[in-house]
Amino acid sequence: MRKILLGLLVTILSSHALATEPRFTTQLSCQLGDSLSVISLLRGHPLSGTDVYRVRLPDAAGFLYEDADASRGSNVQSRCVPLKEGSRVLLVSGEFTSNYLQGVLFYLDVVDHKIGRIEFAERNRPGWIWLTEQGPQVIFANVGHESSHKYLIYGPNDRYQETDEFPVHSHVKNETLVTLKL
């Protein structure tokens, strides 16, 4: 009888813990390349007009940023952006912990077949995504004037560039330029 009561107590406490765990719902799923490269943006734990955001990758899940506090955002927009046939990126931007709009671009790295991410923080949302031989680039018009240059470009491996000339894409190099309207 004691074992039954102990088992019942464990079951009740376990179900209570699961009931208080915040629920996350899928806001958007995006197939970046093949069927093994699907990424989902999850939203949950609403509080005062904000939500916590998580991402689910094919082999793992985690917060959008390092923890729940950093991943709590408002005015969040997300979009699965087609770049060319069989190639998409997931773009997420919103108001998180910075005084700027923060965001992440998730892409499939075709060399090592892993999902990569490009993080950015600017006063405005990105205007273009440029797919090059080096991978995707996120381009911003410099409306905040943090720099003396007209365009700010974020790329893989923390690459960052400021330029006055809008990047010229090459069809010969199989580059693609997508204008965003977020």
In a domain, 136, yes or no: yes
Find the domain containing 161 and state its range.
22-179
Q: Is the pLDDT of residue 17 over 70?
A: no
In a domain, 1, yes or no: no
- pLDDT, tens only, 59-93: 899 999 999 999 999 999 999 999 988 899 999 99
CA separation for the pair 22, 32 (Å, rounded):
28
Q: What does each C-alpha distance from 88 to 4, 24, 64, 93, 142 come to in angstroms?
A: 53, 24, 19, 16, 25
In a domain, 3, yes or no: no
In a domain, 7, yes or no: no
Average pLDDT over residues 136-162: 93
Domain count, the chain: 1
CA separation for the pair 179, 182 (Å, rounded):
10
In a domain, 151, yes or no: yes
In a domain, 27, yes or no: yes
CA separation for the pair 51, 95 (Å, rounded):
11
User: What pTM did the predictor assign?
Assistant: 0.85
Q: Is the pLDDT of residue 128 over 50?
A: yes
Q: Is the pLDDT of residue 153 over 90?
A: yes
In a domain, 10, yes or no: no
Q: Is the pLDDT of residue 37 over 90?
A: yes
In a domain, 114, yes or no: yes
